[in-house]
Amino acid sequence: MTHSWKISTVDDAARARIAAARLAAAHGVPTVERTRLVTALSARLRQCLVKGGSWTMTLNVAPPADGDGPGSLTVTLSARGGSAGAPGWQESVAVAEPVSGSDAARVPRDRRAFADALLSADEDTAQILDRLGEREQLVAFHREELHQTNQGVLALHAELDAAGRAQRELFAAERAARTEAESARHRLTFLADASAALTASLNHEEILSRLPRLLVPAYARSVDVWLLADDDGRRTPRPAAAVTAARTGRPQYAADHPGGLPGVDDLPPSALHPDGPLLCIPLPSRHAPLGVLTLTPPQERWSADDAVTLIELARRAGTAIDHAQRFEHNRDIAETLQRALLTDLPTTPGLSLAARYLPATHGLNVGGDWYDAFRQPDGGLVVVMGDVTGHGLRAAVMMSQLRTALRAYAVDGGTPGRLLTRLHVFLHHLQPDLYATAAIARFHPDEPTVTWAAAGHPPPVLRTPDGAVRVLDDKPGAMLGIPLDQEIRDHTAELPRGSTLALYTDGLVERRAQGIDPGIHRLAEALAAQRAADLGRDLEGAADRILKPMLRDSQRDDDVCLLLCHVGATDAAVTLPRQSTASAAARAPGQGVQGAAPRP
């Protein structure tokens, strides 16, 4: 359906505009599309009126081409007869449902009705403006909502950023704590290892030699150990800081800048070492510093943790050196005492004596084992093998007292049992908390027997000339010094010429894993394996040959003492000269000395 209007005046243009708006409304064109169409048409009509001439507006309503879906409303504006030379204009909009008839396109001629129709044509615009207002309110609401959302997002981002910073700070603190813990673990491990190395030796010179190896290069570039007791007045130049540390007992730091080290005093640079700092740490003992440890830094300077570690190491080194020096002092006293007590063995016609003493290789190396041989006024010869419990200076002193007391008692005569009984009473009253074991044998040139007695001591072993070996384990007495009244009995054994009696201490035969009986059996076998001729001709060599298999499995954690007494086949005397320290040192390892306690 097509409608046409001729337009040459303003009224014609107004009527065409009204007809187009009504027809679009009648065909269900949406308000926005209808308003857009009428607005565009009005602009074109205004241009036509300005240009002048006659124009034709055509409205064509066409149904859908395939009979389904919306139709179209096409507005065409063209010049009549080609006037004004203006090009034509056309616009189309979709219609919901085309209607028949032309009532919608009629525009009243009455001026009042015409004016009303013209003004009512702007109702679509008013409706669009109302809807636009609603949209603006909705937009404003959403804009405010978006602003609030943005503020929340910004706040959330701020919180996340703060949480991220806090997390990074926590991670950094955790890394720092782990680094500090690892450093502390490393320093504690170093101190533990250094303590083990320093306390593993009881030789103070060896401890001093280990200190530089422990400190270089991790904690020092160079190390100087000044031991005050070893200075010997040599007046070796020492840094002023080292002298101050020795005098005050406080660590000193000498440099051209303050060290800021905890527990360390700052001093000017040392004149002996002006090019770099020095750290002088005293080596403390219970009363006064033993010396000073002077260090140069491995790099530019030490940290506070380094200073604490070095001061603690110096304290442990001072303690180790102090203990070593005290040990060496006590050992020297005990060894001197023990050497003095292990005197020459007497020479007796028809009786050969050979002794071996080997100190323990662990601990103080000086114990209470002793042997002795002396004559009685009636011509008898008494041989003694004893063992005081414990090690060290106290055991050596107690051994000296027992030896002296036994010699004094023997002057009055008496059998071995009687001598041990008196020694038991003496020890019980002199040292109630100290005990001893002993075995005594008495030989007399007019008697073909040997009288012996034992108090808690391993039994003597007797070898007869035919090679038979007998363990003299007749009922012994209890240990000397225990709170018990006892009378120790004497025992007698036949002693043919060519016989050999062995006295010994438990260090020779006792093993922790086996006990003492297997060791006594091995000693008996070793003694039986000796040839009679060798025993009579070379008793010293026989002692060495007996010791060698006996000590093969020994850890030498106890003193070893052996005394062989051989009754010769003739009355010829065998002289046993005292060995010097030099000759003792020349012996093969494990042989020991006669009449002296060698220093290991």
- Tell me the CATH number at 94: 3.30.565
| Residues 6+ positions from 317 with CB-CB distance below 8 Å | 198, 207, 211, 283, 293
**192 belongs to a structural domain:** no
Q: Which domain holds residue 310?
A: 204-330
Here the CATH number for the domain that contains residue 261 is 3.30.450.40
pLDDT at residue 593 in the model: 38
- Nearest CA to 479 out of 544, 551, 387 is that of 387
Task: Please tell me the distance from the alpha carbon of residue 379 to that of residue 575, in angstroms, as a whole number.
Answer: 17
Residue 365 and residue 321 share a domain: no
| Residues 6+ positions from 283 with CB-CB distance below 8 Å | 225, 227, 289, 290, 291, 292, 293, 314, 317, 318, 321
Residue 311 and residue 443 share a domain: no
Residue 402 and residue 286 share a domain: no
SS3 state at 288: coil
Here the CATH number for the domain that contains residue 561 is 3.60.40.10
Residue 74 CB-density burial (10 A; 0-12 exposed, 13-18 middle, 19+ buried): middle
As for how many domains the chain has, the answer is 3
**24 belongs to a structural domain:** yes
**462 belongs to a structural domain:** yes
CA angle centred on 487, ends 500 and 457, rounded to 5°: 40
Residue 459 and residue 380 share a domain: yes
pLDDT at residue 589 in the model: 34
Residue 496 and residue 399 share a domain: yes
> Would you give the DSSP letter of residue 323?
H
**135 belongs to a structural domain:** no
Residue 354 corresponds to which amino acid? A
Residue 115 and residue 24 share a domain: yes
Residue 325 and residue 372 share a domain: no
Radius of gyration of the chain (CA): 62
**216 belongs to a structural domain:** yes
Sheet of 560-567: strand order equals 351-358, 560-567, 500-504, 461-463, 469-471
Residue 568 CB-density burial (10 A; 0-12 exposed, 13-18 middle, 19+ buried): buried
Question: Would you say the C-alpha torsion 16, 18, 19, 25 has a positive or negative sign?
Answer: positive
Residue 353 and residue 324 share a domain: no
Residue 289 and residue 381 share a domain: no
Residue 350 and residue 301 share a domain: no
Task: Please tell me the distance from the alpha carbon of residue 231 to that of residue 226, in angstroms, as a whole number.
Answer: 8
pLDDT at residue 262 in the model: 93
pLDDT at residue 595 in the model: 37
Could you say which of 279, 304, 330 is where a domain stops? 330
Could you say which of 121, 153, 188 is where a domain stops? 121
pLDDT at residue 361 in the model: 64
Could you say which of 121, 145, 166 is where a domain stops? 121
**185 belongs to a structural domain:** no
**468 belongs to a structural domain:** yes
Residue 89 and residue 231 share a domain: no
Residue 347 and residue 326 share a domain: no
Using H for helix, E for strand and C for coil, what is the string for 62-92?
ECCCCCCCCEEEEEEEEEHHHHHHCCCEEEE
> How high is the mean pLDDT in each 10-residue block of the chain (600 residues)?
84 83 82 84 85 85 70 85 63 73 63 68 73 84 90 91 92 89 90 92 90 92 89 74 93 92 92 89 90 90 91 94 87 72 80 88 66 91 91 77 91 92 91 89 92 96 94 92 93 94 93 85 94 91 92 76 87 36 32 35
